[in-house]
Structure 1
């Protein structure tokens, strides 16, 4: 799945199955994520398979 620099922006990387990500911001159908290697970007909400566990500060 493509990771983009902005919603509907340029592709800057890919999200592989099983990658662990942190959801930073959700904006309509787009979700901003951070990967373990400190890469941030945007993916479509439908491309994420979210775990059942959530924690909120």
Structure 2
């Protein structure tokens, strides 16, 4: 339960701009596409964790 709460808090931080994409790799954008994820980016890691939780 605590892990799920942390995932939600991390995702909220991305959504509110407290944690931003680094855009140095495969972050989602116009070039890489909206499904791209960069494993070295904290914002992408938060999204990936939420995606795993949603499955």
Q: TM-score, normalization: structure 1?
A: 0.25
User: More strand per residue: 1 or 2?
Assistant: 1
Relative contact order (C-alpha < 8 Å, sep 6+): which is higher? 2
